[in-house]
Amino acid sequence: LPVPSEHRARSVEMQQGDADSVLNATRAFLRWRKAQPALVHGSIRFIDVPEGVLAFEREAAGQRLRVVFNLSDAVFEWRDFGAAALLDVPGPAPGVLDGTTLVLPRHGAAFALAG
């Protein structure tokens, strides 16, 4: 099938050489994820959070991670978040831990060591 010229910039061939491309960002995240025992093999426990937010904890091999996705169009704040530290994860829109409050931008995500 013919490929429209405006889509050529998104081809795998074009993205491979661009460190900031979606392809390379996805590859970096998947490499990071594979190195996290809790995300690969862990048990899962969902956390009750407001609509528009998804939160859960995964635990395995002595690692417990709290994962939060803000799927809404508004900033989400979780007071008394209860995590020890946010992890530096490849990808856009990371959360920020302000004292004990997690602040997630719209469509943001946070991966934290659960405390």
Q: What is the model's pLDDT at position 71?
A: 97
Q: What is the model's pLDDT at position 10?
A: 82
CA-to-CA distance for 68 and 111, rounded, in angstroms?
A: 7
Q: Would the pLDDT of 28 be above 90? A: yes
Decide: 28 and 90 in contact? Cβ < 8 Å: yes
Q: Would the pLDDT of 8 be above 90? A: no
Q: Output the CATH code of domain 36-114.
A: 2.60.40.1180
Task: Provide the whole-model pTM.
Answer: 0.86
> Phi and psi dihedrals of 79, rounded to 5?
-75, 150
Decide: 46 and 55 in contact? Cβ < 8 Å: yes
> Which residues are paired to 109 by β-bridges?
69, 94
Q: Would the pLDDT of 31 be above 90? A: yes
Q: Where are the domains of the chain?
A: 36-114
- Residue 102: band (very low, low, confident or very high) from pLDDT cuts 50, 70, 90: very high
**pLDDT tens for each residue of 42-96:** 999 999 999 999 999 999 999 999 999 999 999 999 999 987 789 999 887 789 9
